[in-house]
C-alpha cells in the first residue's frame, strides 16, 4: 500500500496561538504543525518538543486493547514452571508479588505488584478509556483526570525490566532444575511490545489538544 | 553569537508539567488539566538533595546486607548483590555478570553522583554546561528503572524455588534497602528541573556581556 506523506495534523483548540515551551530549556516556540511522522525539536537545545505520530488514536486504541487482552492471558496461563526433586512450582506475576508478601517482605512485594501489575493495567486501561472515545471526537467522562494520571504512572510501568529479571533468573536456575515456558511467557513478551507501542503511539500535546477540542 | 531566544519565564508564562499547555503563571492553575502552575518545579534542588541523601543512607545496607537467602539441604547461604554478580562471573556467564554489574551497582551510584553534580550546577557551584549535563540528566532518568532488575530476580526466585527442605529461597533485608535506593533515586530524578541549568547559564551570559559594554540593554 502506498501512502502519500500527509501534512495532516491534529485539530487545535480554538482561540489564540498555542505556544509550546521546551521542558528542558524553557525556550518558547510557536507550536506550528509538523508533517505526519516527523517531530519538532527545540531551536536552542535540540530536545524533542512534540511529534506528529501517524494514525495515533487508532494505534493507541488498538495496542492498548491488545495489551489488556494479553494481560489476561499472562495472568491466566502458566508463565514459567520449574520442576526439581519431584516438586513442581509455577511462576506468575501475581505469585511473584504474593510470595514476597508471604515470606515477610510485604513492602517489596507491593512494589513488585505495582510495577508489574497495577501500573501496566492502569496505563493500558487508561489509554484505552481516553483514546477510544476520542476516535469519534468525544471525551469520556473524567477523561482529564485519567489523562493526568497516565503521565504519572508511566515511569512506574516496569514490565520490560521484569522480563530482564526473568532472563537473569533463568541463568541462575539453569543447571539446577527443569524449566518449562508456558503460553503466559510468550504473551508477556508480546505485552511488553504492545505497551511500548501504545505509550509511544501518541504525543502528549496531541492527546491533550484533542481532549480540549472534544470538550469544547 | 546566536540571537537570544525568548524563554517562557521572561513573559511570565508557565508550561504545565502535566499537559504541556503554556499559560500565564498568575492564573494559578492550568485551564486545561487543572494542575497547579509553576515557572519551575517548586523546591527542585532541595527536594532532589533530600531524596539523594535518603538514597545514599540506604546505599550501604543495600549492598552489604543479603538480598536473599538460599537454603539448600540444610545449608543456609545469604547472598548480597555483589556476591550474586561474582557468582555469575565465576560460572563464566560474563554477559549476565556485566548486566547485573551495570544495572545494580553502576547505575545507582552513577545516578546519585550525577544528580549531585546537576544540583551543584543548578545552584551555581559548578559551571553549568547544559548540553553535557542535559545528556547526563536524560540518561539518569532513562536508566534508573533498570536497577530494579535485581529486585525482580529476588521475587522470581522466591516464587519459583519453593522445594521445602530440598531448596528454598527467602528474601533478605538488603532487598528492601535496595528497592528503596532505586525508588528514591527515581523520585530524585523526577524532582530535578533541568531548566535551572539554563537559567544559570543565562545569568552567567548576562553578567559576561554586561561587564564590557555596560550600555547594552
Evaluate whether residue B210 is within a structural domain.
no
Predicted local confidence at residue B59, as pLDDT: 92
Is pLDDT of B209 > 70? Answer: no
Region B91-108 average pLDDT: 88
Are residues B17 and B66 located together in one domain of the fold? no
- The full 3-state SS of chain B, as one line of letters, equals CCCCCCECHHHCEEECCCCCCEEEHHHCECCCCCCECCCCCCCHHHHHHHHHHHHHHHHHHHHHCCCEEEEECCEEEEECHHHHHHHHHHCCCHHHHHHHHHHHHHHHHHHHHHHHHHHHHHCCCCCCCHHHHHHHHHHHHHHHHHHHHHHHHHHHHHHHCEECCCEEEEECHHHHHHHHHHHHHHHHHHHCCCHHHHHHHHHHHHHHHHCCCCCCC
Distance from C-alpha of A87 to C-alpha of B168, rounded to nearest angstrom: 12
Evaluate whether residue B52 is within a structural domain.
yes
Cα distances from A13 to residues A32, A51, A139, in angstroms, run 13, 17, 14
Q: Smallest Cβ distance to B155: which of A90, A112, A176?
A: A112
Residues of B with Cβ-Cβ distance to A80 under 8 angstroms: 160
Are residues B23 and B125 located together in one domain of the fold? no
Evaluate whether residue B125 is within a structural domain.
yes
Is pLDDT of B60 > 60? Answer: yes
Under DSSP, is residue A61 helix (H, G, I), strand (E, B) or coil?
Answer: helix
pLDDT band at B182 (very low <50, low <70, confident <90, very high): very high
- Domain hosting B123: range is 41-205
Are residues B20 and B77 located together in one domain of the fold? no
Are residues B34 and B46 located together in one domain of the fold? no
pLDDT band at A1 (very low <50, low <70, confident <90, very high): very low
Predicted local confidence at residue A43, as pLDDT: 87
Number of domains in chain B: 2
Distance from C-alpha of B84 to C-alpha of B66, rounded to nearest angstrom: 10
Are residues B20 and B93 located together in one domain of the fold? no
Are residues B70 and B21 located together in one domain of the fold? no
A170 at B interface, C-beta within 8 A: no
Cβ pair B93:A171 closer than 8 A = yes
Evaluate whether residue B19 is within a structural domain.
yes
Region A63-87 average pLDDT: 90
Cell of B155: 521475587
B203 at A interface, C-beta within 8 A: no
Distance from C-alpha of B123 to C-alpha of A186, rounded to nearest angstrom: 49
Predicted local confidence at residue A178, as pLDDT: 83
Cell of B6: 525568548
Predicted local confidence at residue B216, as pLDDT: 44
Phi-psi region of A6 (alpha: psi -120 to 50; beta: other; left: phi over 0): beta
Q: By the 8 A CB rule, do B57 and B45 touch?
A: no
pLDDT, one tens digit per residue, over B191-203 is 999 889 888 888 8
Are residues B176 and B120 located together in one domain of the fold? yes
Instruction: Judge residue A188's burial from the number of C-beta atoms within 10 Å of its C-beta, 0-12 exposed, 13-18 middle, 19 or more buried.
Output: buried
pLDDT band at A2 (very low <50, low <70, confident <90, very high): very low
**Which has the closest alpha carbon to A98: B155, B170, B71, B70?**
B155
Residue A116 C-alpha from the chain's centroid? 12
Distance from C-alpha of A59 to C-alpha of A143, rounded to nearest angstrom: 18
From the candidates A14, A168, A211, which should be mutated to test the interface with B, based on the most B CB atoms within 10 A?
A168
pLDDT, one tens digit per residue, over A128-158 is 999 999 998 888 898 999 999 998 899 999 9
Distance from C-alpha of A125 to C-alpha of A135, rounded to nearest angstrom: 16
Evaluate whether residue B1 is within a structural domain.
no
Are residues B71 and B166 located together in one domain of the fold? yes
In angstroms, the first-to-last Cα distance of chain A is 36
pLDDT, one tens digit per residue, over B19-35 is 888 888 888 898 888 88
Place of cell 532518568: B141
pLDDT band at B210 (very low <50, low <70, confident <90, very high): low
Evaluate whether residue B217 is within a structural domain.
no
Cβ pair B34:A148 closer than 8 A = yes
Predicted local confidence at residue A112, as pLDDT: 93
Are residues B13 and B93 located together in one domain of the fold? no
Residues of A with Cβ-Cβ distance to B163 under 8 angstroms: 84-85, 87, 89
Are residues B166 and B68 located together in one domain of the fold? yes
Are residues B15 and B78 located together in one domain of the fold? no
Distance from CA of B6 to the nearest CA of A (A): 6
Evaluate whether residue B198 is within a structural domain.
yes
Is pLDDT of A107 > 80? Answer: yes
Evaluate whether residue B103 is within a structural domain.
yes
Residues of A with Cβ-Cβ distance to B9 under 8 angstroms: 26
Cell of B206: 548576562
Q: What percent of chain B has pLDDT over 90?
A: 34
pLDDT, one tens digit per residue, over A9-52 is 788 887 778 889 998 888 998 888 888 888 899 888 888 899 98
* Structural domain spans, chain A: 1-52, 56-215
Are residues B62 and B101 located together in one domain of the fold? yes
Give the global pTM: 0.89
Phi-psi region of B28 (alpha: psi -120 to 50; beta: other; left: phi over 0): left
Place of cell 526439581: A84
Amino acid at each position: 500500500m502506498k501512502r502519500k506523506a500527509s501534512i495532516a495534523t491534529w485539530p487545535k483548540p480554538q482561540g489564540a496561538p498555542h505556544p509550546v515551551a521546551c521542558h528542558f530549556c524553557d525556550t518558547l516556540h510557536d507550536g506550528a504543525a509538523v508533517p505526519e511522522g516527523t517531530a519538532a525539536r527545540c531551536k536552542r537545545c535540540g530536545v524533542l518538543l512534540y511529534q506528529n505520530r501517524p494514525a495515533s488514536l487508532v494505534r493507541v486504541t488498538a495496542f492498548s486493547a491488545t495489551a489488556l487482552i494479553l494481560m489476561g492471558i499472562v495472568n491466566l496461563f502458566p508463565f514459567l514452571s520449574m520442576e526439581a526433586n519431584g516438586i513442581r512450582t509455577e511462576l506468575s506475576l501475581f505469585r511473584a508479588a504474593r510470595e514476597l508478601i508471604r515470606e515477610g517482605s510485604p513492602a517489596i512485594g507491593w512494589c513488585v505488584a505495582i510495577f508489574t501489575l497495577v501500573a501496566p493495567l492502569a496505563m493500558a486501561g487508561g489509554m484505552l478509556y481516553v483514546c477510544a472515545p476520542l476516535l469519534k471526537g468525544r471525551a469520556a467522562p473524567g477523561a482529564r483526570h485519567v489523562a493526568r494520571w497516565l503521565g504519572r504512572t508511566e515511569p512506574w510501568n516496569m514490565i520490560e525490566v521484569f522480563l530482564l529479571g526473568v532472563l537473569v533468573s533463568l541463568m541462575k536456575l539453569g543447571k539446577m532444575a527443569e524449566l518449562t515456558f508456558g503460553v503466559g511467557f510468550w504473551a508477556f513478551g508480546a505485552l511488553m511490545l504492545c505497551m511500548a507501542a501504545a505509550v509511544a503511539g501518541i504525543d502528549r500535546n496531541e492527546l491533550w489538544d484533542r481532549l480540549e477540542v472534544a470538550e469544547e | 553569537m546566536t540571537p537570544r531566544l525568548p524563554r517562557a519565564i521572561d513573559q511570565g508564562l508557565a508550561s504545565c508539567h502535566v499537559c504541556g499547555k503554556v499559560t500565564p503563571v498568575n492564573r494559578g492553575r492550568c485551564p486545561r488539566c487543572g494542575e497547579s502552575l509553576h515557572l519551575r518545579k517548586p523546591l527542585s534542588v532541595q527536594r532532589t538533595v533530600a531524596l539523594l541523601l535518603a538514597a545514599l543512607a540506604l546505599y550501604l545496607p543495600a549492598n552489604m546486607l543479603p538480598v536473599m537467602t538460599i537454603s539448600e539441604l540444610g545449608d543456609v547461604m545469604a547472598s548480597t548483590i555483589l556476591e550474586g554478580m561474582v557468582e555469575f562471573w565465576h560460572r563464566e556467564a560474563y554477559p549476565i555478570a556485566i548486566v547485573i554489574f551495570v544495572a545494580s551497582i553502576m547505575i545507582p551510584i552513577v545516578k546519585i553522583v550525577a544528580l549531585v553534580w546537576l544540583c551543584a550546577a543548578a545552584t551555581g557551584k559548578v559551571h553549568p554546561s547544559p548540553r553535557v549535563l542535559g545528556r547526563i540528566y536524560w540518561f539518569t532518568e532513562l536508566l534508573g528503572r533498570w536497577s530494579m532488575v535485581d529486585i525482580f530476580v529476588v521475587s522470581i526466585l522466591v516464587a519459583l524455588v519453593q522445594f521445602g527442605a530440598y531448596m528454598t529461597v527467602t528474601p533478605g533485608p538488603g532487598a528492601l534497602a535496595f528497592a528503596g535506593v532505586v525508588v528514591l533515586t527515581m523520585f530524585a530524578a523526577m524532582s530535578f528541573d533541568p531548566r535551572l541549568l539554563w537559567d544559570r547559564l543565562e545569568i552567567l551570559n548576562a553578567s559576561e556581556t554586561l561587564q564590557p559594554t555596560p550600555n547594552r540593554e
